[in-house]
Amino acid sequence: MTQKTILRALAGETLDTPPIWMMRQAGRYLPEYRATRAQAGDFLSLCYNSELAAEVTLQPIRRYGFDASILFADILLLPQALGADLWFVTGEGPRLSTITTPDELKALKPVEAIHDTLNPIYETVKILSRELPSETTLIGFAGAPWTVATYMIAGKGTPDQGPAHALKDADKPTFEALLDLITDGTIEYLSKQIDAGAEVIKLFDSWAGSLKGDDFLNYAVKPAAKITAALKARYPDTPIIAFPRGAGEKYVGLHADIGADCIALDDGVTAPWAAAHVQTGGCVQGNLKSSHMVTGGDALVTETRAIVDAFKGGPHIFNLGHGITPDADPDNVQLMIDTVRGA
């Protein structure tokens, strides 16, 4: 049976044309997303409305024919399922009740309870596995424990993850117990996504870059490795993409250290460097600056071709180095796709 292109790349195959999808491909830059989000009421209602969440997941597939779709949800639903309060402030972003003391940690729910909240997400996955075109791969995801912990500790997004670093330094046992709880919850959450039909899993460690020295090993690499080991034991055939954003030189060796089939690259490394030092370990994905989706033009075409060229000697999935932003022009996405497929 001919496999889907994304699965072939994740299995280590070098393809003539890299398969392509885009981080945050369902989102505010698309008018059809804004319409469905308005219909749902607010962002969280959209996440928990399985029919509408499936609809916005399908929108970029219909418009562009990407090779993969990513479940529409958010990394902050797991903290909510563990008992944290979660809401979104328009124009500012997420807010959560904070976990910084042993008592607050103890008040969270046990891992087994998360499915009560997260069942609609599994339902979205089931709808998608029925409705996606047969050539499109369905990616499930979660936040990596450190990144999720930074939001649970600070109660919001922070530029330097200061509150999480402060708890790590002031009360390591509480910090590490929180990370362990998130790790165990993530394993159960992702297992249910795979049971429901997710074919690939991606772990987003958006704030891994602020972990220095041994902290990177202990709080980015080890929790991710624990999650991949647990998932591989249960689902040996489900590929895993790890995205330790901002890892820089520490990207080297991560396929093996995390046990991931693919490492996603931000735009802080050059493609030729990553081809020589990271792609040697397995499939890579990412690297194009998201700002090209705003500015477009010759620079987009030149940079897209350069990335395709740099990674042509090994397994590669074309993607951005981070999520597309709401001010992006949908026509620039089409230009990127045409450039990759026509290159």
DSSP SS3 for 139: strand
Q: What residues from 192 to 221 belong to the interface with ligand 1CP (CB under 6 A)?
A: 204, 206
250 binds ligand 1CP (CB under 6 A): no
44 binds ligand 1CP (CB under 6 A): no
Q: Which of 27, 155, 209, 244 binds ligand 1CP (CB under 6 A)?
A: 27
151 or 216: CB nearest ligand 1CP:
151
| Residue that has been written with the tokens 């020295």 in this structure | 213
Cα angle 117, 120, 125 (rounded to 5 degrees) comes to: 130
Catalytic residue among 33, 48, 64, 151: 151
Say if CB 203 and CB 224 are below 8 A apart. Answer: yes
Written as one letter, the residue type at 92 is: E
- Phi, psi for 83 (deg, rounded to 5): 115, -5
**Measured from the CB of residue 14, what is the shortest distance to ligand 1CP in angstroms?**
26
**Measured from the CB of residue 276, what is the shortest distance to ligand 1CP in angstroms?**
26
162 binds ligand 1CP (CB under 6 A): no
Beta-bridged to residue 244, according to DSSP, are 205
Six token digits for residue 4: 């889907």
For the question of residue 28 being annotated catalytic, the response is yes
For the question of residue 63 being annotated catalytic, the response is no
Dihedral angle at the C-alpha atoms of 205, 256, 219, 183, nearest 10 degrees?
A: 70
Cα(47)–Cα(59) distance, rounded to whole angstroms? 15
Q: Which of 12, 41, 65, 93 binds ligand 1CP (CB under 6 A)?
A: 93
What is the DSSP track for 154-173?
A: HSB--SS-HHHHHHHHH-HH
**Measured from the CB of residue 312, what is the shortest distance to ligand 1CP in angstroms?**
26
**Measured from the CB of residue 33, what is the shortest distance to ligand 1CP in angstroms?**
7
Cα(38)–Cα(107) distance, rounded to whole angstroms? 34
**Measured from the CB of residue 141, what is the shortest distance to ligand 1CP in angstroms?**
5
Catalytic annotation, residues: 24, 28, 37, 74, 151
- The binding site for ligand 1CP (CB under 6 A) comprises 23-28, 37, 43, 70, 72, 74-76, 93-94, 141, 157, 204, 206, 323
